[in-house]
Amino acid sequence: MQLQFYSEKVKAELYKFSLAEEQHQFTALPSEALEIEDRNRHPVVIMDGDRAVGFLFFIKEQL
């Protein structure tokens, strides 16, 4: 497994992710999260070989 910054080449795969309704209160789908424009948020994809298996943001804190 490895982390890589988001790129358009994994967009279609990330947009296939789904959540159970009870989990949705705690997190967002990549398709929802990527719609939020914030230059302090840096999307990261968790890769297992060539397959996207997770998604998160690194957040640059403003001081």
Instruction: State how far Cα 55 lies from the chain centre.
Output: 3
- Would you say residue 56 has pLDDT above 90? yes
pTM greater than 0.85: no
Question: Distance between terminal CA atoms of the chain?
Answer: 32
Where exactly are the structural domains of the chain? 1-17+38-63
Task: Pick 27 or 45 by higher pLDDT.
Answer: 45
Going by the DSSP 8-state scheme, the letter that residue 36 receives in this structure is: S
Q: What is the pLDDT of residue 2?
A: 97
Residue 6 in contact with residue 44, Cβ under 8 Å? yes
The DSSP code for 49 is: T
**Per-residue pLDDT, 62:** 67
